[in-house]
Chain A
Amino acid sequence: MSAADLMGPTDEATTLPRRKKRDWLFGIGLTIVAVVVILAAIGPWIAPYDPTSVTPRIVEPPPSLGEIPGLLWGSITGTLEHPPHWMGTDASGFDIFSRVISAPRIDLSIALAANGLSLLVGVLLGLLAGYYRNVATGLLMRVSDVLQSFPVFISAMILVALAGRSTVNIIIALALLYTPIYIRLTRAEVMSQKVRGYVEAARAMGNPELTVALRHVLPNSLAPALIQASVTIGFAILLTAGLSFVGAGVRPPTPEWGLMISTGANQIILGEWWPSVFPGIAISLTVFGFAVLGNALERRYDGG
């Protein structure tokens, strides 16, 4: 509810015009996310090189702008010795372009799986904690308080490093750290929804309590958690990359953006910018895309 509804709740709310959304920013966000999702599905197949095997060409810079048309023509006609390295190669000889477009599969699946898992668990526990307020759910909230006070990045690092640097462990670690957020959001919303008139009406109509909780309260309490999820997906990508960057994430040579930036970090002082810059642009745009989407959802929900 926006502050604008307050002074004349019955009077003004209906007179405000419905703004037509010709929102180019939202369009950009949606496009970015769509591209990333598509790459997650087909990236490794359309990559010109195997993202996990090296080529004999080490630290080859990307083609200059002037070379691009020729290389394009060459790759169409098939007159080149080998497919061009559009983004150059890194110190081990990996083709950066192939790795950049293969990485969404890892990054996005970690982010989606971790969020899906914590969303599921968090919403159910939040419903429970908001609907039944007793000793058990009180304890649940205290546990979630403690979990939420962990420093996120360091805790993720500890969990992954000590459990073993695998994709599954990263997912579990992130899910564990994100769950309290969803518990808290859902619980708060459940508590405000369960006292509303339509819930009373459902009861007065003769619905069993479980039906009231699952069919009426739950669907109306999902929005805050879902909005949060759309934002958190972006942050999960950042965190995954950050873990790789400090050496506590996925193992090389997995094509993952953070890992690629990390392997290129030592060369950047020497002026070899491309091994780090291209994967960085990919993360930067992807997370921005999710932030835009999350923000749009948030504003739609708030009615602003």
Chain B
Amino acid sequence: MLVRYIATRLVIGIAQLIGLVIAVFFLIRLLPADPVSRLVGLNPSAEAYAQAERQLGLDRPILTQLLHYLGLAPEEGPGLLQGSLGISWVTGSPIVEEIGRHLPVTIELITLSFLIAFVLAVPIGMLGALKPGGKADRGVFIYSLFAGSQPEFWWGLLFVYLFFFTLGVAPPPLGSLSPLTSPPPEITGMITVDALLAGRPDTFVEALHHLMLPVATLVFILSGPIIKMVRQNMVRALRSDFVLYAHCAGLPRWQIARYALRAAMAPSITLIGILYGFMLGGAVLVESVFSLSGIGQYSVRAVLSFDYPAIQGVVLIITGISLLIYLALDLIHAVIDPRVAY
């Protein structure tokens, strides 16, 4: 049952990705933007314009462009099938390389934020669930509703004002390390990890210090939905018939707690996956506030400069990773809750 479930999910996921690649490809070409004139500047000569168009390959029929991009016309150079996302129109370097540089920054930021948010939110959510409708629950509930509906970029700025400008305990929001520190040799692309690998604890601490505010911002924003979800699932589990029946059967307290916890965690896992996938693209605002050169910042730059290959690459990579995460978490969900794969 489980194997078939995985296979079905994989096939659907891949089909979805293919659909997405083609949809994005046509969508950005349908929109009334003119990347050529963006590149050659205002009022170019017709000749310069045509040459630029030829350089970008935009003079060819759109289907030929698509085949090239997908890698179905390998004689013209590598495409998707060959593992290439194309060359950036702005910088001229391969997109894969550029994304490879920016993605780890985002992954580092949001993974750390998720871990902390989760560790804080689960006990708080449970606290609320213990006595639904009580004072603590009311407070927890209002907090989760509030935190879940906040503009993160604004909170980031507030934190900067408070902790950098007023209190001076945080570094300025100007990147992952101070400009004077040389970054550790790149292995994973995540500075904290690379610093440890390079045996530079002081750089590690400095990187953490720089991550402090962006992570705090994201933890605040993320804690809202996570607390709300944990609380809701826990209340539901504690009020479920089977927990009541477990009391009827005289099961020991610890065992009933285990029944309820398992029932509450199973649906939470799926939601966390969705949230994580959302944050891959959604961290852009926090990256922007703190000048972290993550995938979000990269996509802003690509979009504003009409760099089509870069735009396509970013959407594809983010969606691909999200789908993989959904799949992995659905599998965990299926292991915890046998009804899922049924």
Contacts and interface: CB of A to CB of B under 8 A. Distances in A.
B148 interface: yes
A276 B162 CA distance: 13
Interface size class of B (residues with CB under 8 A): 35 or more
Nearest to B297: A246
A246 B152 CA distance: 13
Interface string A134-157: 000000001101110111111101
Contacts of B244: 7
B23 interface: yes
A93 interface: no
B7 interface: no
Contacts of A149: 16, 20, 319, 322-323
B142 interface: yes
A157 B281 CA distance: 11
A47 interface: no
Interface string A141-184: 01101110111111101110111100000000000000000000
Contacts of B165: 268-271
Contacts of A2: 239
The B contact surface, by secondary structure, is helix
B31 A238 contact: no
Contacts of A128: none
Contacts of B146: 288, 291
A3 B239 contact: yes
Contacts, number: 155
Interface in B282-333: 282, 284-285, 288-289, 296, 299-300, 303-304, 306, 311, 314-315, 318-319, 322-323
Given A155-B315, A158-B303, A273-B161, A295 B145 contact: yes
A164 B32 contact: yes
A100 interface: no
12 contacts: A3-B241, A149-B319, A153-B282, A153-B285, A154-B296, A159-B31, A248-B304, A261-B151, A261-B154, A271-B161, A277-B161, A280-B151
Interface of A: 2-4, 6-7, 25, 142-143, 145-147, 149-155, 157-159, 161-164, 234-235, 238, 241-242, 245-248, 258, 261, 264-265, 268-271, 273, 276-277, 280, 283-284, 287-288, 290-292, 295
Interface of B: 15-16, 19-20, 23-24, 27-28, 31-33, 142, 145-146, 148-151, 153-155, 157-158, 160-161, 164-166, 172-173, 236, 239-241, 244, 277-278, 280-282, 284-285, 288-289, 296, 299-300, 303-304, 306, 311, 314-315, 318-319, 322-323
